[in-house]
Homo-oligomer: A and B are copies of this chain.
């Protein structure tokens, strides 16, 4: 049949439920031989649960279960615990299981990472920020009352933005906090006040933290006291913060005209043509499961067309942004969003703007920095969309008069994550002809620096004192295609012109295009650097052939406008090393499950996951393969990025397209087909 069959076996990929999160916490609190404090209150010297997620069984077990009547794998959780209160403070990862009533736990840190996880690699939790802000606003600010008064600080009108990385070598934990003007109904991130403070918060003893450098409007000072001294000596020119009014608020999204309903809308005359049951979705010939990782975001599993698996997993892995600026916080910034939480910050979607009114909205739960799970309402939407363009059509007016066509309607799974200032719209799109598209749109607020001196070398001035700073976005996806079975090879196709003597006119020569094919043998051959020449067609291909004798395959087509990635001599380059490659294909391993790690952000000099280690020249012929795809764009901000970057032109992603996989386009089986003729 070409309609997807329903089955509940996909529940093996389900995110943990609130009950399962709580059971994990309860189990750990009872069974870890130590005192656990809620992360919401934990001091650096205490122990706390940082994060809990589902722990997937090994792929082999799952596939045995799904395809071969194997036993249902046990359901387990992964729990990340911060141990500040130990001889050797560290991060430990446990597996806890089985649900519904956990009865065992196992420390998997060493087997997973081949090392213990030093405590300094831990993500900064809310409590650590609160302590940092207390120090800045209370202790440090109290040493510069005159300067702050002249600047326009009123005791509560500043917002601080953290930057990363936090230093220059392993073990450092020194953060530049950039100060902005808080806005009432608009965003602070485009209102820098010119002041930035470097706080060393490495010590586990909060009382030992201190501000080690201050930046104001182009000049550096030892601390706020020195800035105050120089200010009082008349050596600092202060640019007083101006009141931002509705009129000159470059960040305001309050419409300048009275909103008027009337924009075109979609309706579904036949009701929903897809089903969503628990974590499992069907749409015509498609079926798949969806889930959300609090760190890395959306993840789909067991993606099938006509009930045959095409991909075991398609998931977002990481998003980074590398900035340039003439101000300190801006110039060092390399955000790894996964360590902040792409899924965690996927907030409630707004009907009619983020997704159509008639979409299906689904809640998502996570447990992070807390002992109780949090549920975000309407965090994921699923809807069918008429793209307003034919998927295919032909109008025949020669020899035979007919018209055939098919409107392109697709199923879209979407989340939108807001990482402080900017917003990413994450889409997975399923077409009626067997194509899957992954697409990310960037929107939200740009990040900014205080505009001074040679600021324009680092972007555009977009406000009175606002420099929109250049940066380059990179996003990494994991694509575990299983095309016609688990064992695949990478085939490439391209063209070349082949000078050819014309058989019927021997003096004439033409430049004849010809197909050039090859099969890549090793991981190293399949690691394509960001701006290297890549064969125009890259396929996951099977040993099986279609009706016409060609290997059944899926083509990977990448759409990206990426800027440059860091040179390899950069000491943080390896921490985001997947961004070196536009595409790399590796032999799939359960132990190489993710291209990034939440521990990389705070110790990029000694990355917990070094993606480039995955590429060790293993044989990739007739193996279970995974593609790691990097897309991105260079963003040199401009005035039209205010109030928000528009999604137009800022969308990148990739297509997975059947290529000699079927014998004919499977959309011939669509119920939407149109055909008519005249005699």
Contact (A513, B648) CB under 8 Å given A405-B350, A537-B636, A566-B497: no
Interface pairs A-B: 8 shortest CB-CB: A262-B270, A253-B404, A255-B673, A324-B513, A392-B644, A260-B671, A353-B405, A168-B508
Q: Does A425 contact B (CB under 8 A)?
A: yes
- Chain B, residue nearest A359 (CB): B388
Contact (A392, B646) CB under 8 Å given A324-B495, A495-B563, A566-B511: yes
Stretch at the interface among A13-21, A74-82, A364-372, A427-435: A427-435
Q: Does A69 contact B (CB under 8 A)?
A: no
Instruction: Determine the distance from Cα of A497 to Cα of B507 in the docked complex, in whole angstroms.
Output: 53
Which residues on B sit within 8 Å (CB–CB) of A256? 668-669, 673
Which residues on B sit within 8 Å (CB–CB) of A670? 255, 257
Which residues on B sit within 8 Å (CB–CB) of A159? 398-399
- Chain B, residue nearest A498 (CB): B324
Give residues of chain A (183-201) contacting chain B, Cβ–Cβ below 8 Å: 183-188, 198
Instruction: Determine the distance from Cα of A90 to Cα of B45 in the docked complex, in whole angstroms.
Output: 93
Instruction: Determine the distance from Cα of A472 to Cα of B512 in the docked complex, in whole angstroms.
Output: 12
Instruction: Determine the distance from Cα of A459 to Cα of B648 in the docked complex, in whole angstroms.
Output: 35
Find out whether the CB atom of B511 lies under 8 angstroms from the CB atom of A570: yes
Find out whether the CB atom of B412 lies under 8 angstroms from the CB atom of A394: no
Which residues on B sit within 8 Å (CB–CB) of A459? 515
Find out whether the CB atom of B350 lies under 8 angstroms from the CB atom of A400: no
A643 CB contact (under 8 Å) in B220, B255, B497, B664: B664
A550 CB contact (under 8 Å) in B549, B566, B639: B639
Find out whether the CB atom of B183 lies under 8 angstroms from the CB atom of A399: yes
Which residues on B sit within 8 Å (CB–CB) of A487? none
Which residues on B sit within 8 Å (CB–CB) of A408? 647-648
Q: How near does chain B come to A424, taking the closest CB pair, in angstroms?
A: 11
Instruction: Determine the distance from Cα of A324 to Cα of B496 in the docked complex, in whole angstroms.
Output: 10
Of the A-B pairs whose beta carbons lie under 8 Å apart in the complex, a sample of 14, sorted by A's number, is A254-B673, A255-B668, A255-B669, A255-B671, A266-B267, A356-B386, A388-B412, A460-B550, A460-B660, A472-B513, A495-B564, A515-B636, A548-B639, A638-B660
Find out whether the CB atom of A388 lies under 8 angstroms from the CB atom of B395: no
Instruction: Determine the distance from Cα of A216 to Cα of B563 in the docked complex, in whole angstroms.
Output: 52
A510 CB contact (under 8 Å) in B385, B393, B570: B570
Find out whether the CB atom of B220 lies under 8 angstroms from the CB atom of A514: no
Find out whether the CB atom of B324 lies under 8 angstroms from the CB atom of A512: yes
Find out whether the CB atom of B187 lies under 8 angstroms from the CB atom of A510: no
Instruction: Determine the distance from Cα of A505 to Cα of B658 in the docked complex, in whole angstroms.
Output: 53
Find out whether the CB atom of A673 lies under 8 angstroms from the CB atom of B636: no
Instruction: Determine the distance from Cα of A25 to Cα of B494 in the docked complex, in whole angstroms.
Output: 50
Find out whether the CB atom of A350 lies under 8 angstroms from the CB atom of B674: yes
Stretch at the interface among A99-107, A436-444, A475-483, A582-590: A436-444
Find out whether the CB atom of B354 lies under 8 angstroms from the CB atom of A640: no
- Chain B, residue nearest A552 (CB): B639
Find out whether the CB atom of B675 lies under 8 angstroms from the CB atom of A663: no
Find out whether the CB atom of A328 lies under 8 angstroms from the CB atom of B253: no
Q: How near does chain B come to A227, taking the closest CB pair, in angstroms?
A: 14
Q: Does A538 contact B (CB under 8 A)?
A: no
Q: How near does chain B come to A666, taking the closest CB pair, in angstroms?
A: 8
Which residues on B sit within 8 Å (CB–CB) of A536? 561, 563, 634
Instruction: Determine the distance from Cα of A348 to Cα of B385 in the docked complex, in whole angstroms.
Output: 25
Q: Does A352 contact B (CB under 8 A)?
A: yes
